Structure 1
Amino acid sequence: MAHRSVTRIWHTLGHADAVHGLHYLLMHGVFALWDGGETALRLPSVLAVATASAGVALIGRGLAGPRAGVLAGLVFPLIPTVQRYAQEGRSYALVCALITWGTWLLLTAVGRRGRLRWGAYAAFMLTACLLHELAVVTLFAHGATVFRSGLPHPVIRAWGIAAGCVTVGLLPLAAFSVTQSEQVDWIGFPDLGQTTRFVVAALLGLLCARTLGRTPPRRTPPDRTPADTRDPADSYDPADTRAPADTRAPADTRAPVELRTLALSLLILPTVLLVLLTPLRPLYVDRYVLSYTIGLALLIGVALDRIQRDTGRSRALRGAVYLTAAGAALAALFPVGAYLRTPQSRQNDADAVARAVREAARPGDGVLFMPARRRVWTLARPEAFRGLSDLALERSPVASDTLHGTEFTPGRIRARVLAAHRIVAVHDLAGQPLEEDEREVAKRETLRTGFEECGSRTVTQARITVYARPGSC
C-alpha cells in the first residue's frame, strides 16, 4: 500500500481500509524519503515506542517524582505487548505514543491552563484517533481522570470542549468506515488468551495501586513566591522537573491529578468499554487499546519506587527488591522477548509461505488462493510466484485499487482451473470456516471433482496443497 501512488491509495481507501488511511499515507512519505524495505516499514514503530517511553517517564516524574518516572519509563518497553508492536510495521505503536504525549499534555493543560495547551492536547488525541479510530475510547479514561480528580469547573469545561473537538474531527472517518464494517467481521468474543492477558495486567496494576496508598503530593515549582496569589492548580506543570526550593510548602500545592487515578483509568477503562460493546458489535482486540500499557508501566514504576523507599533501611529487603525487579526484566527479554522476535510468534509468516509455494510449484503451474484475501501472502515476495498462473485473478490489487485484487466470474474460474494440469492451492487450515461466495465454491468444487490431492504442507496458519489430474501425481 505504501508503495502505491497517493492517488491509488486514495482510491483504494474508498473500497477498504479507510481506518488505516493516515498510516498508509504516512508510510508512503517515509518510503519517498528512504525506501529501506522492512527496516523503513518498522522503524516508525521502534521510534514511537522510544518516544512513548520518554513520555511515560515524564508523566511519572511529574506525578510521583524523578525516580518513579525513570522506573516507569524503563518498565514500559519491557512489557511484552509493547515489545511486540514495537517490531511491527503497523499503526498501533504510533497511536500509543500519541496517547502518551496527549496524556502528558492533558496534565500540563490541567496544571497550567491555557488555550494553546488544550489545543495541543486535542491535536495529539485527534491524530491518534485518525490513525486508528478506536483510540477514541482513551478519551473516556481521560474524562474519568478529570472528573474523579475534583478539578475546578473551568478545567472540566475545557477538557469537554477539547474532547468534543476530537469527536467532531473523527466523525467523518467514523461515518465512512461504517460502510466497510465487514472488514472487522472476523472479530469475535474475546478469546482465552486476550482475556487472560488483560486480567493479569489489571490484577497486577491493582496490586501495585494497593501498595502505593496515596502517592505523595508533588510540590510546586520554585518559581512560586509568598507574594504569588495564583491558584496552586495554575502553577502545577508536569513538564517542570526542577527540585522544589521549599519542602515546607502547604499541602494544597499537590498535583491536581493523582497518579493512581490516571493510571488505573488508562489500564482498565478502555478495555472494559470495548468488552461491554461485544454483545452489540465485537470490537475488542488487545492491540486496539495498547495504551493500557501506559497505566500499567506507571503503576509498576511508582510501586517499585515506593517499595524501595519503604525498605531503604534494610539492605536485605532492598537487595531482594532489586533482584526481583532484575529477574522480571530479564524474563521479559529472555525468553519472552526472544520468542517475540521469531516468526513463530506471529500467526502468519509470508516469507515461509512464499518459500513453500516455490518449493512445491513447477514452472507453468496454476495457483489458487482460497479465499481470495490470502493473495496478500504473495505481495511482499512477488518473485516467488513468477512463472505461476494465478487462475482466478482478473485484475491485480494495484490495477483494481483493492487489497486483494478482483477475480473472474465463477464460470470463468471453473474453466481456467479445468484447463490447468497441475495446481498449487494456498488456503486456510482445515477446520476454518469456509466462505460461501460463489467464486470460492467454484474453486473448491472444481478441485474436488476434477483433481486429486498429491500432497499438503502446513506453514504457520497456511496450508499449501498440490493438486493434479487423476493419476498424474
Structure 2
Amino acid sequence: MAISTAPPSFESVASGRRPGAVRLRAIAERFAPSLIPAFLMAAIGRYHLGNSTIGWDEFATVDASRRTPGQILELAGNIDGVIAPYYLVMHVWTSFFGYSEVALRLPSVITMAIGVGLAGELGRHLFGPAVGLLTGLILCAVPSLSVFAQEARSYGFAFCFAVLATLLCFRAAEKPTVARWACYGVALAAAGLSHLFTLTILAGHAVVVVARPDNRLAIRRWLIASGVAVLVCAPLIWLGTQQRGGQLAWIAPLTEDTVLNAPAGIFGLRGSIPNATTRTVGIAFIIIGLAIAVRGRDRRIVAGLIAVAVAPPVILIAASLIDPVWVPRYSLITVVPLAMLAAATVLGTRVNRWSALRAALVLSVLASFAIALVPVLRIPGAHQGGDYRALARAIADRNLTDDVIIYPQNNGWALRGAVDYYVDPARRPADPLLKETALSRGTLAAAEYPLAERLGTPQHVWYLRALNATSDPFTSETRLNALMLGYRPVQVWHSEWLYLILFEKN
C-alpha cells in the first residue's frame, strides 16, 4: 500500500466558510511557521541579555570593533582574518549603538532569531506548516542556540545564512532558474564570510541537488553558484591557512570521548556549567532519536536533510584526524535538519488531534529541560572567563593610586581587555609592563616589557590570571614565580576561570 507523502496541513477548510476566514487561515499557515518561532527565539535571546559579563572571545570583538576599517584589515593580516567581515559589520553597528553588553550581543539575537524563523519556513516548504512550526519551536528549546544568541561573535550570522542557503538550495533544486541559484550563491557566500567552516554544508547541499530527478541542469548551476561563493571566500580561506597556528592552535587533538560527546556538544553548552550536562544530553538525544525514526516521507528530501545534518560534523571530525579543527559550535547548522526530521516524526503524515497531542508532549519535555537551563545560562560568569564585574569591583574598591597590575606571559587579549572594559579609568591600576598596545601592533595582544625591567618597587601588585576552575591559583608561571621572590599574597579572589591575587611587598 502506498504511503502518502503529501505535506500535512492544519485542519482542512470547510467549503462553507466565509472567504475572510479562509484568507486568514491561509495567511496563518503561510507565515506562522516562521514568525512565531522567530519572535520566540528573539525573546529567549533578549532575556537577561546583559546579565552575563563579556566572555573571553567576545573581548576580541570589543577590541576589533573599536578599530577603523583600515585597522581591522591590518588586524586581519595578522590574526582573525577569517572573521574580518564580522568585525567590519560590528564596527558599523557599535558606531551607532555603543559597546554595552546588550548592544554588542543584539546582532546575534537578531540573526539567530531570523535563522530559526527560516528553519520554520524550510520545514513548511518541505513538509507543510505544522512541521515548520514544530521545527521552529523545537529549535527554541536547543540550549546551544540560546547560548550563541547571546554571544558577540559571528555564530549567529553563520547560522542564519547557512539556514537561508539550505532553504534556497532546496527551492533552486526544485526549479533551477538562474535567479534562484544566484540568490543561493549570495547566501552561501555570506555564510562562508561569517564563518569559513560553514561551507561544510556544501557536501549536504550536493546530496540535495543530486537526489532530484532530471538533475543535470540543477547540478551544473549548483556547481557554478557554489564555485562563485567559494571564490568570494577565497581570501579568507588563504588567510585561514596562513594563520592556522595562531587561530586554532588551542583546539585539543581528537579523542574517542570527543567523538562520543559530539551530539551533546552541538546541542548543548561549552565549558563545565553545573547541572547542565544531563539536561543537554536529554534534549540532544530526544531530538536525534525522533529524527532517526522518521517514516513515510519523500526519501529524497530526507536524504538531503540527513546529509546537511551529518556533513559538517563528519567533515570537521575527519579533518581533525590530521589537524585538530573540531569544535561543536562550528556545526550549529546540524540542529536544523535534525529538529525538522524530529518534527516530521512526531506529527506523522496526517495532522490531527493525536499528532497535536504528541507534539505538545514532546515540546513540554524539551521545554522543561530548556527552562531549567535558562538561569544557568544567564549567570554573570556564564560566558567563558568569569564574573568580570565582580573583578572590577574588587580592584576599584581599594582605590589606591599606587597599585599596579600585571598579567602572565602570553596572556592573550582577554585579561587586559577585561580590565580596560570593566574597570573605570580613574580607578584602574597602572600597567607598567605595557610596551606597545595591541592596536599599534595590528594584532590582539599587546607587547610587554620583562618584569624585572619595568615593575619597579610598588607596595601592592595585582596579578590576574586564567586557569581551570579547580586549579591552584599559585600554579607555577614565569612572572608569578619572579613576583613571589619579593612579594607575598594577601588576598585571592576567584570566579570561574579567573584568579585575581593581591600581592604586598615583603
What TM-score range do you get, normalising by the shorter chain?
0.7 to 0.9
Residues 264-413 of structure 1: pairs in structure 2 closer than 5 A: 264-306=306-348, 309=351, 312=352, 321-349=358-386, 350-359=388-397, 362-371=400-409, 372-373=411-412, 374-383=415-424, 386-408=427-449, 410=450, 413=451
Kept after mapping to 2: 8 A contact 1:361/1:424: no
| Matching residue within 464, 467, 470 for 2:503 | 467
Corresponding position: 1:427 with 2:490: no
Corresponding position: 1:57 with 2:120: yes
Corresponding position: 1:449 with 2:490: no
Give the deviation of 1:423 after TM superposition.
0.6
| Matching residue within 197, 216, 220 for 1:153 | 216
Residues 40-84 of structure 1: CA deviation (Å, up to 9, x unaligned): 211111111221122111111111111111111222222111111
**Partner Cα separation in structure 2 for residue 147 and residue 202 of structure 1:** 29
Could you say what the CA RMSD is over the residues aligned between the two structures, in angstroms?
2.8
| Larger CA deviation: 133-142 vs 145-154 | 145-154
SS at match of 2:65: coil
SS at match of 2:490: strand
**Partner Cα separation in structure 2 for residue 33 and residue 337 of structure 1:** 30
Kept after mapping to 1: 8 A contact 2:204/2:305: no
**Partner Cα separation in structure 2 for residue 136 and residue 322 of structure 1:** 33
Kept after mapping to 2: 8 A contact 1:55/1:104: yes
Residues 381-431 of structure 1: CA deviation (Å, up to 9, x unaligned): 2416744111211122333332132212x3xx3132243221100012265
Letter of the aligned partner of 2:248 in structure 1? V
2:253 matched to which residue of 1? 189
Kept after mapping to 1: 8 A contact 2:309/2:333: yes
Letter of the aligned partner of 1:451 in structure 2? Y
Kept after mapping to 2: 8 A contact 1:202/1:267: no
Residues 165-186 of structure 1: CA deviation (Å, up to 9, x unaligned): 2222222211122222222111
Kept after mapping to 1: 8 A contact 2:209/2:219: yes
**Partner Cα separation in structure 1 for residue 284 and residue 503 of structure 2:** 50
SS at match of 2:455: helix
Letter of the aligned partner of 1:187 in structure 2? I
**Partner Cα separation in structure 1 for residue 291 and residue 366 of structure 2:** 20
**Partner Cα separation in structure 2 for residue 204 and residue 131 of structure 1:** 30
Kept after mapping to 2: 8 A contact 1:95/1:128: yes
| Matching residue within 88, 112, 117 for 2:151 | 88
Letter of the aligned partner of 2:416 in structure 1? R
Kept after mapping to 2: 8 A contact 1:360/1:466: no
Give the deviation of 1:378 after TM superposition.
2.0
Give the deviation of 1:102 after TM superposition.
0.8
Query: In structure 2, do the counterparts of structure 1 residues 447 and 143 end up closer, same or farther at CA, with 3 Å as the change threshold?
Result: same
Give the deviation of 1:262 after TM superposition.
2.6
User: Normalized against structure 1, the TM-score is what?
Assistant: 0.80
For structure 2, the 5+ residue unaligned runs are 1-63, 268-280
Kept after mapping to 2: 8 A contact 1:393/1:406: yes
Kept after mapping to 2: 8 A contact 1:205/1:267: no
Residues 168-183 of structure 1: pairs in structure 2 closer than 5 A: 168-181=231-244, 182-183=246-247
Query: In structure 2, do the counterparts of structure 1 residues 308 and 434 end up closer, same or farther at CA, with 3 Å as the change threshold?
Result: farther
Query: In structure 2, do the counterparts of structure 1 residues 127 and 322 end up closer, same or farther at CA, with 3 Å as the change threshold?
Result: closer
SS at match of 1:345: coil
| Matching residue within 96, 102, 106 for 1:43 | 106
Query: In structure 2, do the counterparts of structure 1 residues 394 and 158 end up closer, same or farther at CA, with 3 Å as the change threshold?
Result: same
**Partner Cα separation in structure 1 for residue 243 and residue 475 of structure 2:** 18
Give the deviation of 1:154 after TM superposition.
1.8
1:212 matched to which residue of 2? 294
**Partner Cα separation in structure 2 for residue 428 and residue 34 of structure 1:** 30
SS at match of 1:467: strand
Letter of the aligned partner of 1:287 in structure 2? R
SS at match of 1:157: helix
Give the deviation of 1:463 after TM superposition.
0.7
SS at match of 2:348: helix
Residues 229-279 of structure 1: CA deviation (Å, up to 9, x unaligned): xxxxxxxxxxxxxxxxxxxxxxxxxxxx84322322222221111111112
**Partner Cα separation in structure 1 for residue 392 and residue 422 of structure 2:** 7
| Larger CA deviation: 354-363 vs 136-145 | 354-363
Letter of the aligned partner of 2:313 in structure 1? T
The total of aligned residue pairs comes to 418
Give the deviation of 1:86 after TM superposition.
0.9
Corresponding position: 1:458 with 2:494: yes
User: Normalized against structure 2, the TM-score is what?
Assistant: 0.75
Letter of the aligned partner of 2:71 in structure 1? R
1:20 matched to which residue of 2? 83
Query: In structure 2, do the counterparts of structure 1 residues 428 and 193 end up closer, same or farther at CA, with 3 Å as the change threshold?
Result: farther
Query: In structure 2, do the counterparts of structure 1 residues 401 and 197 end up closer, same or farther at CA, with 3 Å as the change threshold?
Result: closer
Letter of the aligned partner of 1:305 in structure 2? L
Give the deviation of 1:370 after TM superposition.
1.4
**Partner Cα separation in structure 1 for residue 424 and residue 287 of structure 2:** 48
Kept after mapping to 2: 8 A contact 1:206/1:264: no
Residues 197-226 of structure 1: CA deviation (Å, up to 9, x unaligned): 45957754553244331316xxxxxxxxxx
Letter of the aligned partner of 1:391 in structure 2? P
**Partner Cα separation in structure 2 for residue 47 and residue 33 of structure 1:** 16
Letter of the aligned partner of 1:468 in structure 2? E
Kept after mapping to 1: 8 A contact 2:381/2:495: no
Give the deviation of 1:150 after TM superposition.
5.1
SS at match of 1:290: helix
**Partner Cα separation in structure 2 for residue 333 and residue 195 of structure 1:** 16
SS at match of 1:89: coil
Query: In structure 2, do the counterparts of structure 1 residues 267 and 357 end up closer, same or farther at CA, with 3 Å as the change threshold?
Result: farther
Query: In structure 2, do the counterparts of structure 1 residues 407 and 62 end up closer, same or farther at CA, with 3 Å as the change threshold?
Result: same
User: Structure 1 vs Structure 2: percent identity of aligned residues?
Assistant: 23
**Partner Cα separation in structure 2 for residue 383 and residue 149 of structure 1:** 61
SS at match of 2:400: coil
